Structure 1
Amino acid sequence: MGYPRGFGYVLDFSDRTMEEFFEDEFGVEIYDEQNQSLGTSKRNCLTGFLLRADKQTALRVLRALWERREGLIDAAPSSADAREAKSKSGPFQEVIDYLEGDLGSPNTEGVETFERDRTLEELVADIERTLAANKPEVAIDHLHTYCMKKFAHLLKARGINCDKDEPLHSRFGKYRKCLEAEQDLPEFTVRALKSFISLLESFNDLRNNRSLAHDNEILKPAEARFIFSSISAILVMVRALEAARYGD
């Protein structure tokens, strides 16, 4: 974690850029007094935060730092610091692997039967069975199908039809515009909804190229677990916004 500047540092962050990174990426005040139990350096504040964080949050932070670290190494592959950092990757990756393996099955809170439809009922039941067997990588294809049906249903309820081949992110884009026209949404919610469009566009690619929808090399279980949880979080938020629409 100290690459490339030594003890007390975190990657290439200055005090300011580390503060901005944690605020922008995670909504965390990394220099908060609660994170200074071990000291006030960047390294100590990060360690203090990770000791307090739940496993899911700690894993998100470590993944983001890992990706930034790999980017720094790839930017200077021939430097001595980069070679040394590459040789010390093992323990960091082992921590990530441990946390990923300890998270259990993804939460299925966002997946529900929203109308009387036999295909939908079988789809939801199959997703639940697959996750109960702790195989999120197998559920990715059906989760995508579920999302396609969900947003087609929400649009149809507003008198808007979808073409059968209309991709998921396009359906969600139409739905987002409906929500913004119907409700006075907080700024954070507006920004979150916009960010979901690109996330769901990436989900299309994963479904086509990294799931059992075709003859693909499927995702690793840890990757699939994170993706499933992320998409489920979108569905939970949508359910809350729909409830607000009807004044529930």
Structure 2
Amino acid sequence: MSDLILNDKKKVERLLGMSSGYVSNFSDRTFREFIAEAVGLNIEDPKYNNETNSKARRLRMFWQVESNAVVGKLLLELIEHVRSEDSYRWEQALGDECIAIAKRLLAGATVSELDAIKPNRKGEGFEMLAREVHQAIQNNNLREGLDRLHTFLTAYVRTLAQNHGINIEEKTLNAIFAEYVKTISAKGKLQSAMSEQVMKMSITALDKFNHVRNNQSLAHPNEVLNHEEALLIFNYVAATVRFLGTLEE
């Protein structure tokens, strides 16, 4: 459930012209397609059902049901739509207020370990890749950035493994990480059984990340994972990279 307060809702509804039951200049079809593209959710899902099922009422239910991250992301996309595609309705001062509302919702739903995403070896390509991941986070385009994050993590883990003399040729990300965990455990780098277990669990998690990259990211023409789960993956990967960085210092 989002933290949109009544006064915020009034401002957003005014910008989107929702008093008549419509939302901006959307038809039912374009509204459904817009929300699916923006946040990966189906606005016609029964959880958004209401008395009349008008677009405005469904959007109000969306605000009630979904998290700050999802609502904030969608609001920014809707605001930009009004500015660029429904400009007769655009009011700069009101638009700025609505942007501030959306950013407030997003402020508590960001990747907390952003600074950990940095190359662990020199190379222009690796540095560019890290910048692309940062850009996806800063622009809140996490769904679109999943492929870049996977590529970054693969390069990062391959470098770690090579530094420990591990053969990485023709091996998947999770297979390389499994050998890395075995190696650092044997070298006594992990001080607790729990830390070792968490690292072993990460082997399975990275295998699942391979699936996300291949089937739920923009690496291929896929239906992209929703924003909320993309945020979870970004935070998990960033926290893991931060921990691995401290191990190797």
TM-score, normalization by structure 2: 0.57
The aligned counterpart of 1:169 is 174
| RMSD over aligned Cα atoms | 2.4
Please name the residue that 1:201 is paired with. Answer: 207
In 2, Cα distance between the equivalents of 1:137 and 1:96?
20
State whether residues 210 and 218 of structure 1, in contact with CA within 8 Å, keep that contact through their aligned partners in structure 2. yes
Match of 1:106 among 107, 111, 115: 111
- Structure 2 letter corresponding to 1:221: H
1:9 corresponds in structure 2 to: none
Give the C-alpha shift of residue 95 in structure 1. 6.3
2:218 matched to 1:212? yes
Question: What is the alpha-carbon distance in structure 1 between the residues aligned to residue 238 and residue 62 of structure 2?
Answer: 26
TM-score, with structure 1 as normaliser: 0.57
Query: How far apart, in 1, do the equivalents of 2:182 and 2:127 lie?
Result: 28
Cα distance between partner residues in 2 of 1:242 and 1:186: 16
Number of equivalenced pairs: 156
| 1:223 shift after superposition | 1.4
Matched residue SS, 1:109: helix
Structure 2 match to 1:144: 150
After superposition, where does 1:1-248 map in structure 2 within 5 Å? 97-101=66-70, 102=105, 103-107=108-112, 108-163=114-169, 165-183=170-188, 184-243=190-249
Q: Partners in 1 of 2:110 and 2:234 — Cα distance?
A: 10
Aligned to 1:192, the other structure's residue is in SS state: helix
Q: Deviations over 1:29-83 (max 9, x none)?
A: xxxxxxxxxxxxxxxxxxxxxxxxxxxxxxxxxxxxxxxxxxxxxxxxxxxxxxx
Secondary structure of 2:67's counterpart equals helix
Whether the 8 Å contact between 1:104 and 1:134 is mirrored in structure 2 is no
Distance 1:175 1:95 in 2: 44
Deviation at 1:196, TM superposition (A): 0.5
Q: Where does the alignment leave 5 or more consecutive residues of structure 2 unmatched?
A: 1-45, 50-60, 71-104
Contact preservation (8 Å) 2:174, 2:207: yes
Distance 1:161 1:194 in 2: 19
Q: Which amino acid aligns with 1:178?
A: T
Alpha-carbon distance, 1:93 to partner: 8.8
Q: Which runs of 5+ in 1 are unaligned?
A: 1-86, 244-248
Shift of 1:220: 1.3
Instruction: Measure how far apart 1:180 and its partner are.
Output: 0.2
In structure 1, the residue matched to 2:38 is none
| 8 A contact 1:105–1:136 mirrored in 2 | no
Runs of 4+ in 1 over 4 A off after TM superposition: 87-90, 92-96
Deviation at 1:205? 0.2
Cα displacement string for residues 82-138 of structure 1 (whole angstroms, at most 9, x for unaligned residues) = xxxxx9898x99666224444333232331022110110110111111211110111
Q: Which has the higher contact order (CA 8 A, sep 6+)?
A: 2
Counterparts of 2:196 and 2:147 in 1: how far apart (Å)? 28
Letter in 1 for 2:195: T
Counterparts of 1:143 and 1:93 in 2: how far apart (Å)? Answer: 29
Q: Is the 8 A contact 2:213 2:219 kept in 1?
A: yes
Q: Which amino acid aligns with 2:177?
A: F
